[in-house]
Amino acid sequence: MNSAADLGGMMGFGPVVPEPEGEYFHADWERRALALTLAIGAAGRWSIDAGRHARESLHPAEYLTSSYYAIWVKALERLLVATELVDADEIAQRRVLTPGVPVRAWSATDAEKALAAGSPYDRPAQGPARFAVGDAVRTRVVHPTGHTRLPRYARGKTGVVERVHGAHVLPDAHAHGAGEQPQWLYTVRFDGRELWGAAAAPDLNVTIEAWEGHLDPV
């Protein structure tokens, strides 16, 4: 979907102000927001892609006026209600009204091990890759109502395959419970002027990760 999270190339938001390296939180509640999201995610009621879609599909006015971790909390509330782990009235009243639903217990040690191990999303390929390094490709012009990892600013643009990563879970399907539907994944390089026009710096190149279904040959 075309959401407020897809800001690439949009103007009017002011300059990017880098924060100090290693500064991850601005308040204790942000630490708790991250911890709660990771802990309940371990229950396996939704995928990482569903979680990302819940954040990115917030109403634009709400998304653009919320801080980073406020967006995480709002998305978590939506997911908890959607999976019937929490009742909407409990969210509204900020208190428990019904007995809790049993979920997998997850300790700090479990979390540390899981985060260190990571979550691989590569899968066996169902067929040969359609593209190879050096191939010219054009991204499709699509405006799906659901989740997609193809950035809006890079749609309908011509680039060159820079790397072939193998087959990976397709977020566009996985976010909506439609299965993993793995596809070949590619790094595609674009000349900055292809994306931003003649005003782009002549030495600017932008790369994105694109699934095979996002691409057509040139």
Output the CA torsion sign for 14, 15, 16, 20.
Answer: negative
Q: Are residues 105 and 176 in the same domain?
A: no
Encode the chain (218 residues) as per-residue pLDDT tens digits.
Answer: 889 999 888 888 888 888 899 899 999 999 999 999 988 888 889 999 999 999 999 999 999 999 999 999 999 999 999 999 999 999 999 999 999 888 888 888 888 888 898 889 999 999 999 999 999 999 999 999 999 999 999 999 999 999 999 999 999 999 999 999 999 999 999 999 999 999 999 999 999 999 999 999 99
Tell me how far apart the alpha carbons of residues 46 and 50 are, in angstroms, rounded to a whole number. 6
Tell me how far apart the alpha carbons of residues 218 and 139 are, in angstroms, rounded to a whole number. 10
Q: Are residues 77 and 137 in the same domain?
A: no
Q: Are residues 59 and 108 in the same domain?
A: yes
Give a yes or no: residue 21 inside a domain.
no
Give a yes or no: residue 91 inside a domain.
yes
Give a yes or no: residue 3 inside a domain.
no
CB 79 within 8 A of CB 38: no
Q: pLDDT value at position 104?
A: 82
Question: Cβ neighbours of residue 207 under 8 Å, at least 6 residues apart?
Answer: 162, 187, 188, 189, 190
Q: Residue 48 is part of a domain; what is its CATH number?
A: 1.10.472.20
Domain boundary among 72, 102, 117: 117
> Coil, strand, or helix at residue 154?
helix
Residue 212: domain span? 122-217
Give a yes or no: residue 62 inside a domain.
yes
Give a yes or no: residue 17 inside a domain.
no
Q: Are residues 153 and 209 in the same domain?
A: yes
Give a yes or no: residue 9 inside a domain.
no
What pTM, to 2 d.p., does this model score? 0.90
Q: Residue 197 is part of a domain; what is its CATH number?
A: 2.30.30.50
Please tell me the total count of domains within the chain. 2
Q: Are residues 112 and 130 in the same domain?
A: no
